[in-house]
Structure 1
Amino acid sequence: MCHDTTKLLLGIADENLKITDGETGEDGVIRLTGHLDYTPKACPKCGIINDQKIINYGWRNTTIRFSKVLSNTVILALKRRYFHCKECHGNFLAQTVAVPKHCTISNTSRKECLEKLGEPVSLKHIANEVSASDSFVGRQLMRAERDFQTNWHYLPEIILMDEVKSTKSATGAMSFEFMNGETHELIDLLPYRTINKLEKYFYRFDQAARENVKIIVTDMNYTYPKLVQTVFPNAMVVMDKFHIINALNRAFNKTRIKVMKKFTPSSREFHALKRYWKLLLVPTEQLNFEQFKK
């Protein structure tokens, strides 16, 4: 195995980190071994310059997880040099740019995680790709959120509103999201959907931005139309056609089942209503009244 090539594939740029061996286990996990050793320039605790004031103090075993390579999880068992400072009698561990301090997930995995958060995939899928947990991906998403500042002076003329299933960090079972109806870009994702909290959030936008909203496209949730009365004075509510059709289908199926239960299970009417329920949903103009097929 060419260990320099292995470091290149894993994105390890630390010259002090050496990979010594590696193998693929029966479980498909690529397990690498390596060591990290160097001469520190100063003590990170007291700041004393290393003029033979810092000595080697053994090794410590650590683990670093990397993103999958060829669908295989990669784990590096890294022995790090442990140091002792004669000046302050403190001990410290050798650090590497491959992974943050006190962490086991590599920086390359963190970078890949942020890149995949822009893709239309679930957090669980991203966690599987970067060999991490769902909660880790969620924390990366929350940290990335701090780098994006909401523009409180602008809202598009068309806004799409809907709810999504919340993560464990949210306060409720469902969260609220709204998008630009023209560009389909996500504007914000909120961990709540109650009317009081939504009004408080949207009032943070200035009046000119709220008056710029002309159309709100949403489902049949009774909460969102109330925002028009208080927050968006110039907007009108448009029900999404998908939710209208979905509501009609549910109502029709409930009526079909109600009528079906009026017949005995052995009757032809019962079997016809139960078997051909899809046919009853087909529009009349698409039906063929001349040919009959069993």
Structure 2
Amino acid sequence: MRPPVAFLVAAFGLSWVVALPLWLGDGLRTPLVGVLAALMMFTPTVGVLAAWAFSRTPVRQWLRETGLTFGERRGRTALLVLAAWLGVPLLVALSVAASVAVGVLRVDLDGLSLFQAQLRAQGLPVPESLTSIAVTQVVVAVLIGPVLNTIPALGEEWGWRGYLLPRLVGTRGTVAGLLLSGAIWGLWHAPLTLLGYNYPSLGPWAALYFTGFCVLAGVVFGWLRLRSGSVWPAVVAHASLNAVAPLTLLLGDAAAPPDLVVAGLSGVVGWVLLAACGALLLKIFPVRTPQPAS
């Protein structure tokens, strides 16, 4: 079996195996949905190991080719890690501000009514100093969230940006490789998104919609990988995104809950920002096309 085929078979096949209890149970209402979603993030790493088994590439060469090292210029990689750490929260903040500006998101900064509703839905008491708690959550998500999410984010990124992206870019060109890798990444989420994950109002159509988001986010993550020669900036970006993206709901108004199909970074507003960000990065800071590998 060719290594890329082994990678895709393992990553996609195991994702369905991990998510099977959701399909046999109560879908996203299954109590273990969070645990299963986290476990699913490691299936691309298993795919990388499967590809390595078929490639017979020496370990050190394999680690370098798949981006687990820090690239040829470690200083640049460190700067890109920092840029990802701070840049993703900035994109999320811009998406919230833009959503409010165009009228698709209503925030409640005084009462944080949607945050209160979420606490009550979880059976938790609503503290008097809700604003300070919300501020603390934002600070923790921005500064500490990427650290807490690094391992599961690496579970995905070693596969999609570490292994797959350079091979697609090397054979199909930079833009086509970035777009195709993002589409594959998005479709891999189907065991969850077909159940309405991330976009409950769309039902099974969430699988197609989330793929569009992954294509655009994948351009930014992919640029980080190709520009640095390392997977770590993309890992930090992914970890930060998972930490700060839910903050859109933290600021919402319970009287008009946000529709994440249009609001926030995962909605149409965010798509525009991600597309502009990706295009600017590729234009201003072009990346080197790697040679095709096994």
TM-score normalized by the length of structure 2: 0.22
Q: Which has the higher contact order (CA 8 A, sep 6+)?
A: 2
Please, what TM-score do these two structures have when normalized by structure 1? 0.22
More strand as a share of residues: 1
